[in-house]
Copies of this chain bind each other. A is one copy, B any other.
């Protein structure tokens, strides 16, 4: 099933404007919106589409080409990646305020991991086309969002690089 077909099976709640109050409530957990004003969230909300999704649904599928990111507004999700045997391994949990899929919304590359709803969830989706439209129509806001996305990518890159070097060190010791 393509991402588009999958989205058609979700309950479409329209743009994120009715969820601005909820988004502001969970702002402390939305790292990509750090430093955003209410007016900026309101402007951004018009570029996002909201959906209600049942529990147990794979919203992002590992390996699929990706062209959207999502903000988890209500409910919980799980992030899983297949190991070398092709078996999904849970690598993280996601709670309200968590954004998922930022990597693919930027470069359109295949999804690195899958994201599955653990409970019924409400998600706000920002598509690549909408991100590009935002950047064209409201460059100041677009820059602020891209900058913040880059900061988060950076932090993850630093963390993963450190973990990688640590494991590499340990595996060398084991192999020695």
Contact = CB atoms under 8 A, between A and B. Distances in A.
A157 B160 contact: yes
Given A143-B142, A174-B175, A106 B169 contact: no
Interface stretch (A12-20, A56-64, A148-156): A148-156
B151 A106 contact: yes
A47 interface: no
A146 B150 contact: yes
A94 interface: no
Contacts of A106: 147, 150-151, 154
A10 B142 CA distance: 36
Interface residues of A, number: 37
Contacts of A29: none
Given A81-B165, A109-B158, A157-B160, 5 more contacts: A103-B158, A112-B161, A143-B143, A164-B164, A164-B167
Interface of A: 81, 83-84, 103, 106-107, 109, 112, 135, 139-140, 142-143, 146-147, 149-151, 153-158, 160-161, 163-171, 174-175
Q: What 8 A-B pairs have minimum CB-CB distances, sorted nearest first?
A: A139-B139, A171-B171, A164-B164, A153-B153, A146-B146, A174-B174, A157-B157, A107-B151
